[in-house]
Structure 1
């Protein structure tokens, strides 16, 4: 199977979250850059560096059997010719669980190479208790 080509960072991000929601490890890993310095940080978890460690971390998460619904909101995006940074609020619910978890703060870093855009870094952290400050309007222009 050929690795998919993502023409925009948004296409790569959509493919990542679609695969996450389906617990599709192969599709999720197809979004990642093959760079040796790939990094993934799960909420409250360790830092995983390199594709083998990242793959294993997602494999363990998907092995729990939980099915996730993920929605993104309040994006702040910065793009250049070869790199894009998306900082979003990530809202995750687990199927068959009515609990509404607070949003997570996520930063996705994408790099552009010969084969389109790929994910270099995915870092998700629990949001601090900010009494609603996270949900304020986001700037339209990032300086």
Structure 2
């Protein structure tokens, strides 16, 4: 699918639909569809787990995802979604369950990600993706302790 037709399909979409398209594109190693989810703004950024630096700008983000997906898609399942939305922005906190194939067999890696969306003239688009590794055995959701004042 060409980038322009993919963008048109996302035009009427919600942040949730853009997020679904983003993770489906990761699964299928479809860089064009993945990049159609991103804003064309030069200030967009992405931070990957274990990365030495943040990636800024659409071109740089495309390069990183192209290299990341050159051997195929990522087996990612998203859970524990927390959403906040205003008129022109939305923030989603998710737990990514990534299946990693190692010589001793498959392992699940937990990644805590924050996806930030902005409503642009072209529709909802990702403007930031920040992911950090979780600890093994951590379910990813912890309630803040309740403190009684009286």
Bin for the TM-score computed over the shorter chain: 0.7 to 0.9
Counterpart pick for 2:44 among 38, 44, 49:
38
CA deviation after TM superposition for structure 1 residue 133, in Å: 5.5
Extract structure 1 runs of 4+ deviating beyond 3 A: 94-98, 135-138
Alignment: residue pair count: 136
2:32 matches 1:26: yes
| Aligned match of 2:122 | 115
Gaps of 5+ in 1: 139-143
| Aligned match of 2:67 | 60
TM-score w.r.t. length of structure 2: 0.81
1:44-83 correspondence to structure 2 within 5 Å: 44-45=50-51, 46-63=53-70, 65-83=71-89
State the distance in 2 between where 1:100 and 1:113 align: 38
TM-score w.r.t. length of structure 1: 0.85
CA distances 1:8-47 after superposition (whole Å, capped 9, x unpaired): 0001001101111011111100110011110011111121
State the distance in 2 between where 1:112 and 1:36 align: 16
Larger RCO (alpha carbons 8 Å, 6+ apart): 1
State the distance in 1 between where 2:128 and 2:36 align: 14
Gaps of 5+ in 2: 145-150
